[in-house]
């Protein structure tokens, strides 16, 4: 049992590390590695599984996947822009035709995947915040048209 716990914990950290790298590298997916880490931690170390679910960076990946809530539109747009920006830099730095074609195919696949993920509606808090800001602007500039 102790060996199983150690192996699953080590694997969990490896997958979590790959997921963390995936945040910065567009060709490496984040969510699958974070989910694999969550599975390993759940089977090997409940304390780490709880920590991962409550983590401010990785917790939302698990929660959104588990509840099928989707991702917010601004995150979806940012992700697509970031993917293509990162791929463009990679193509520019390597200047290899076959690698460029491969990265283009990866970019298309990731973009299609992101577009197929459910778009999460704005939270009530965000809507109230936008409404309050809009009303404050109207009060500060009553003659300005929206």
pLDDT in tens, 49-81: 899 889 888 888 788 777 878 777 877 787 788
The answer on 54 and 10 residing in a single domain is yes
The answer on 84 and 33 residing in a single domain is no
- Does residue 110 fall inside a structural domain? yes
Q: Which of 48, 69, 90 is the last residue of a domain?
A: 69
The answer on 78 and 100 residing in a single domain is yes
- Does residue 9 fall inside a structural domain? yes
> Cβ(38)–Cβ(52) under 8 Å?
yes
Residue 101 has what pLDDT?
92
In whole angstroms, give the CA distance from residue 44 to residue 84: 37
The answer on 104 and 63 residing in a single domain is no
User: In terms of pTM, does the model score above 0.75?
Assistant: no
Domain that holds residue 96: 70-121
The answer on 78 and 63 residing in a single domain is no
The answer on 78 and 30 residing in a single domain is no
The answer on 49 and 4 residing in a single domain is yes
State the total domains in the chain. Answer: 2
Q: pLDDT tens-digit profile of 85-144? A: 878 888 888 888 998 898 899 889 878 887 888 888 776 555 655 665 666 666 666 665
């Amino acid at each position: 049992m102790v060996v199983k716990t150690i192996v699953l914990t080590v694997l969990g950290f490896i997958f979590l590390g790959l997921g963390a790298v995936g945040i910065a590298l567009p060709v490496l997916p984040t969510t699958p590695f974070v989910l694999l880490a969550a599975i390993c931690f759940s089977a090997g170390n409940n304390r780490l599984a709880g920590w991962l679910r409550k983590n401010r960076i990785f917790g939302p990946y698990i929660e959104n996947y588990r509840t099928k809530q989707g991702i917010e539109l601004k995150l979806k747009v940012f992700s697509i822009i970031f993917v293509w920006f990162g791929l463009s830099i990679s193509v520019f730095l390597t200047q290899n035709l076959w690698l460029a074609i491969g990265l283009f195919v990866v970019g298309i696949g990731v973009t299609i995947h992101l577009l197929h993920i459910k778009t999460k509606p704005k939270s009530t808090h965000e809507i109230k915040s936008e409404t309050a800001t809009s009303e404050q602007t109207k009060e500060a500039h009553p003659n300005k048209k929206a």
